[in-house]
Structure 1
């Protein structure tokens, strides 16, 4: 998201109308629903996090303790616990 000067993109009539409500402030204009994208749909971040979580769960099942996993992946122990629980639940759902 970037800053755009309203006077550069809006007709003066609309700008003056908006100034009746807010002046000299930043205003966020949200995207239309049909233009919104899901988080991670334009990057590989979602896939990378899933691969990391799979590795964490695999290493946990092989006997590596949560404290060591937290240090290795630069995460809190609570985050490791959350990942393990999520992956464990995913495994249970895949079996049924």
Structure 2
């Protein structure tokens, strides 16, 4: 992820900038995101949900009798990956 620096004059109200300048002038300052505001990997793009759906399909097909080898081949996943999906609680 590329770090993006912003000029405080363009994003912070003047009165807040004046207050900040009493503590920091001409240096870099990091302002963390609000706790809970960051989305987990794949939530924004839908990848997380797609993987859950795929893994659910793999578990169901295994329960219906498909072998680990078949599922590995059909889904293009390593045998050990399919095994992990099937034997790990959802």
> TM-score normalised to the size of structure 2?
0.62
- The structure carrying a bigger helix percent of its residues is 1
**What is the aligned partner in structure 2 of residue 61 from structure 1?**
63
> Is 1:77 matched up with 2:79?
yes
Shift in CA distance, 61/42, structure 1 to aligned 2, threshold 3 Å: same
Give the number of aligned pairs.
74
Query: Aligned residue for 1:48?
Result: 50
What is the correspondence of 1:20-59 to structure 2 with a 5 Å cutoff?
31-34=32-35, 35-59=37-61
RMSD value, Cα: 2.8
C-alpha separation between the residues in 2 aligned to 1:83 and 1:61?
Answer: 12
Instruction: Give the corresponding residue for 1:2.
Output: 2
Q: Spell out, residue by residue over 1:39-70, the C-alpha distance to the aligned partner (whole angstroms, 9 max, x if none).
A: 22212111111110111111111211101111
Task: Give the superposition deviation at 1:73.
Answer: 0.7
Question: In the alignment, what sits opposite 2:21?
Answer: none
CA–CA distance in 2 between the matches of 1:47 and 1:64? 23
Q: What stretches of structure 2 of length at least 5 have no aligned partner?
A: 9-24
Quote the offset at 1:3 in angstroms: 5.0
Gaps of 5+ in 1: 19-28, 91-96
